[in-house]
Chain A
Amino acid sequence: MKQVRVLFEPDGVVVEGQAGELLLDLALTAGLPLLSECGGQGTCGSCRVQVQSGRVRFLNRSGLEEQIAAPQEVLACQTAAAGDLVVHVPPETRLCPPDERITGYMGPEAAAFLRPGRTGFALGERTPVQLSPPSFDDPTPDWERLLEGLRQARYGRRNITANLDVLREIPPQLRALDFSVSATLVDEGCHHRLIALGQPEQEEALGLAVDIGTSNVKAELVQLRTGRVLAGAAQLNAQVRYGEDVISRIIWAQEHERGADELQDAVTSTVNSLIEELLQETGASQDQIIAVSCAGNATMISFRLGIPADAIRRAPHIAPVGLPPMISGAILGLQVHPQAAVFCLPAINGYVGGDITGGILATGLFEADSLTLLIDVGTNGEIVIGSKDWMVCCSCSAGPAFEGVGIECGLPARPGAIESLAYDPDQDRTTVRTIGDDPPVGLCGNGLVETLASLLDARVIDRVGNLVPDFPSPRMREANGEPQFVLLWREDTATAKDLVLRQGEIDNLLRAKAAVFAAVSTLLEELGLDIAQIDRLYLAGAFGSHLDVRTAVEIGLLPDLPAERVTVAGNTALVGAYITLLSSEAREQVSSLARATTYVDLSTASHFMEEFVAAQMLPHTDLERFPSLVSSEQGRAGGSSSNT
């Protein structure tokens, strides 16, 4: 096979590969992972790169080798190297990890688990024990002697067990350390397991809280003794290249030999690379991580554990495992202590997973006195309604539009992503604010919400999201038969390309917000409740804490509640993982609340489709559902009143 050398610009990274290798794979080898939302199918166009020179082979065209004379835009997943190449990777194609510290909302009910004296046991602990040496008066065997010491020091009547390899270490260790040791134990629910014995002044025991999202994986490194978060990191889930949603990945896993293994490897490598990053940042060692708590949807957890996930895809969409038994880290290939305990937050159903039970835990919904609504907008939308007395949940397929996927100018929340956008039709001018005040690259969830609201207000789009063709601005134009609107001209962007929103993309956003709103309405209707009865709304997931709640109501993403009743809660799944890492009471709580939450399948709810269609208007077909907007809308909507 012919060797090729590929130079990736502007980074100047050179990789060597073989002729026939895809540019997508070569870029990965070069350490420059690219977006690939369709999983390399050649359909989404997100992996566009520019070949400056060299010989390539186009899989989607003739399949013949072609010499690139002038710079040419190609799809990295459909283009193989046929000779030495120079490839330019534009910023919007990069799968650049959002590098911010993860924060999420933690309600007082959840924080109570962490109060001293209430935590029960952390998932892993390191306990100093002072034992008296054996004598003729006290001939207790070493193991029992250690157990007695542990019981007195901390564990009372808990059952304690140990693996044979640890048991073998006990006699020599006790003597070497003069019967003054520190014991590392993990809480496996029905018992504790001794996983290591060492010097009393051993390093701090650490835990890892992980949120395995369909699109993004986030992790925090936590000091188990104190609960202090030492560092946080996030990366795109490497599974994204196998498909952008869970269904396509389940299908991929089924249709390929070793497909499930590959998906498992992909997420393992993502988590491991996060661990590496965290260890590097804190200078800690792999063996210090003795506990891992994972929140993720049922598919992500199944892939993580290597359990076939097919049942999720088929009616009645059950999760293969609700609450997985405790598993040790080494079996899962994680770069942590080989006997570290891995806890997975329980799933309620195939489509309502541990990320949501984590959210219920984090927000304190399970102990709320009044009606509380939790909306988690990710690639799937999940809704929970309830209080301390009962909880009901559902899920809907919102699509990843608000995560910036499937929108050419869409981005995850990362530096350069536009968070806020206002278009002024009189001046024909757009003002934006980006994360980190970097030059604008694209729009994240918050930015997309504000863009829709601003374009509606300026009458660039009508209330069903149609771009108004005769809008008097050169920004309104058509490309490939599809209307589009230029949000930013190329001289104002970091990509040196016009930042446009296309008609089809607006339609996707409308469908996503309609799915979320319809799921909320349908669930309320099934329960015989009115939105006004909701005392508190938590919006978790794709939106940053700067999201303007009123704007989200204006476009009908959120139901019409006063802003003071709404909390933008961020990554509550990760908060749930964090709390369960530190508290056995919280782990018990999350298991019981998962069992106590009733799942409603919207596909059997008669009104969902109707609600969905009615919600595909800005803000909604039935304006009386948005009483706070009606007064300001009166002029605009011709004073329509309605009550279907």
Chain B
Amino acid sequence: MELELPIEQWSDSVSTVVLGATSEDGGTRTSTVTLGGAATLPFLDFEGEAPNPPVLAMEVLDTEPEGWPEPLAAPFGDVLGDPAAWAARCVEEFDADLICLKLIGADPLRRDASPDECAETVRKVLDAIGVPLIIWGCGDYDKDNEVIPVCSQVAAGERCLLGTAREDNYRTIAASALADGHLVIGESPLDISIQKQVNILLTEQGVPGDRIVMYQVTGAVGYGVEYAYSILERTRLAALTGDTMLGMPMVSIVGSEAWKAKEAWMEEPAWGSLERRGILWEAATAELFLLAGTDMVIFWHPEALKHTRWLAKDLSKS
């Protein structure tokens, strides 16, 4: 007797978002990245189309990181103090699909870098790479409102992804994205309703749905990740069942989250090799989120990205 596999029918799909603009579209990128578009749950391509494979990005900081454990810092050698060189290495040597530049130096509690200084860094990184760029603020509301518009201007026309817009701080960033032809990351504190509220607010501000990417603040494996998984999965299910206000692709940050976990960096012989532990912690987090439904993951360690790329290909084979 032949066994017929039950096939789930979905009424809708995740919207498709294109990052980066080549010269044809008025930018200077040499390639673009397409996110989303799936009409099925992750890796179930026998149920529906999933035209775009998971996007794997790498994070670059505008400030030389302090206290990175040796296994994390080693692959980057001497470029950690030079965001442009760091970004170039991620693309050329480590196979990153695109770069996420985090402007942590703008934080008043860190270097309090000026908007112009941040914009200068953005310019340099854009010049050093041909792939699209994510410009991510420092997280201080007021400072981001000063920094993002200036950075947005120097990157005008490049179709960058600007982050992040929150429920009580979305106007400036949305206005910048609209003015300079960029896209917006809508952030929510691991809450499906607030995520939707942010998307509605952005939409009402004039940002079209194909210019929004969703970001839920998630942790790493071992730190309440089950809840994160269920929120990401529910968001994807909402998209597939026709909720257009939750139909945008999702991005997850795993590098900085995984390496916060003590399991990633603490000397503890019983926990196994310190060389591999952090990498696996980061890769496991990334792979979990891909299974839950995220469309793009942002890494720190190139080996974690490599492992995830292998797994994603393997799972897509059918």
Contact = CB atoms under 8 A, between A and B. Distances in A.
A617 interface: yes
Contact of A640 (B167, B194, B244): B244
Contacts of A470: 171
B246 A644 contact: yes
A636 to B, nearest CB: 7
Interface in B180-227: 191-194, 196-197, 200-201, 203-204
Interface centre among A464, A468, A610 (most CB of B within 10 A): A464
A621 B197 contact: yes
B83 to A, nearest CB: 32
B107 interface: no
Contacts of A468: 171
B242 interface: yes
Contact of B194 (A613, A638, A642, A644): A613
B34 interface: no
Contacts of A462: 201, 204
B170 to A, nearest CB: 9
B244 A637 contact: no
A636 B193 CA distance: 19
A617 B167 CA distance: 11
Contact of A614 (B167, B193, B201, B204): B193
What is the predominant secondary structure among interface residues of chain A facing chain B?
A: loop
Interface in B227-265: 234, 238, 241-246
Contacts of A613: 191, 193-194
B200 A463 contact: yes
A641 B244 contact: yes
A643 interface: yes
Given A613-B191, A636-B204, A464 B197 contact: yes
B78 interface: no
Interface in A445-474: 462-464, 466, 468-470
A643 B197 contact: no
A53 B192 CA distance: 56
A638 B200 CA distance: 8
Given A610-B192, A610-B193, A613-B191, A642 B201 contact: no
Nearest to A640: B245
Contacts of B244: 640-642
A457 to B, nearest CB: 13
A463 B196 contact: no
A451 B194 CA distance: 24
Contacts of A641: 242-245
Contacts, number: 65
A462 B203 CA distance: 12
B65 to A, nearest CB: 34
Given A642-B243, A644-B246, A637 B203 contact: yes
Nearest to B208: A638
A642 B245 contact: yes
Interface in B143-166: none
B268 interface: no
A621 B193 contact: yes
A470 B145 CA distance: 14
Contacts of B246: 642, 644
Nearest to B237: A644
B66 interface: no
B314 interface: no
B178 to A, nearest CB: 13
Given A613-B191, A613-B194, A640 B242 contact: no
A637 B241 CA distance: 20
Contact of A464 (B192, B201, B234): B201
A644 B243 contact: yes
B168 interface: yes
Contacts of A463: 197, 200-201, 204
Contact of A466 (B168, B191, B196, B238): B168
Interface residues of B, number: 21
Q: Which of A469, A470, A614 has the most CB of B within 10 A?
A: A614
Contacts of A640: 200, 203, 244-245
B193 A643 contact: no
A466 B167 CA distance: 9
A424 to B, nearest CB: 21
Interface in A333-389: none
A643 B242 contact: yes
B241 A643 contact: yes
A469 B197 CA distance: 19
A86 to B, nearest CB: 44
Interface string A600-615: 0000000000100110
B200 A644 contact: no
A610 B244 CA distance: 19
Contacts of B203: 637-638, 640
Contacts of B171: 468-470
Contacts of B168: 464, 466
Contacts of B196: 614, 621-622, 642, 644
B68 to A, nearest CB: 36
B192 A644 contact: yes
B242 A638 contact: no
A468 B174 CA distance: 14
Nearest to A462: B201
Contacts of A469: 171
Interface in A626-644: 636-638, 640-644
Contacts of B201: 462-464
Interface string A531-574: 00000000000000000000000000000000000000000000
Nearest to B11: A643
B186 to A, nearest CB: 13
A637 B193 contact: no
A642 B171 CA distance: 23
Given A643-B243, A644-B243, A638 B193 contact: no
Contacts of B167: 464, 466
Nearest to A617: B197
Contacts of A638: 200, 203-204
A636 B205 CA distance: 10
Contacts of B238: 642-644
A268 to B, nearest CB: 45
A513 to B, nearest CB: 15
B44 to A, nearest CB: 21
Nearest to A469: B171
Contacts of A466: 167-168
Q: Which of A470, A637, A641, A644 has the most CB of B within 10 A?
A: A644
Contacts of B241: 643
Contacts of A617: 197, 200
Nearest to B193: A614
A616 B191 CA distance: 13
Contacts of B197: 463-464, 616-617, 621
A469 B171 CA distance: 10
Q: Most B CB atoms within 10 A — which of A468, A469, A622?
A: A622
A93 B200 CA distance: 40
A257 to B, nearest CB: 44
A221 B193 CA distance: 49
A299 B138 CA distance: 49
A448 to B, nearest CB: 21
A203 B204 CA distance: 69
Nearest to A615: B193
A470 B245 CA distance: 26
Interface in B29-61: none
- Which 9 pairs, one residue from A and one from B, show the smallest C-beta to C-beta distance? A614-B193, A638-B203, A642-B243, A613-B193, A642-B245, A640-B245, A644-B238, A621-B193, A621-B196
15 contacts: A463-B201, A464-B197, A464-B201, A466-B167, A470-B171, A613-B194, A616-B193, A621-B196, A622-B196, A637-B204, A641-B242, A641-B243, A641-B244, A644-B192, A644-B243
Given A614-B193, A643-B242, 18 more contacts: A463-B204, A466-B167, A466-B168, A470-B171, A613-B193, A614-B196, A622-B196, A636-B204, A640-B200, A641-B242, A642-B196, A642-B238, A642-B242, A642-B243, A642-B244, A642-B245, A643-B241, A644-B246
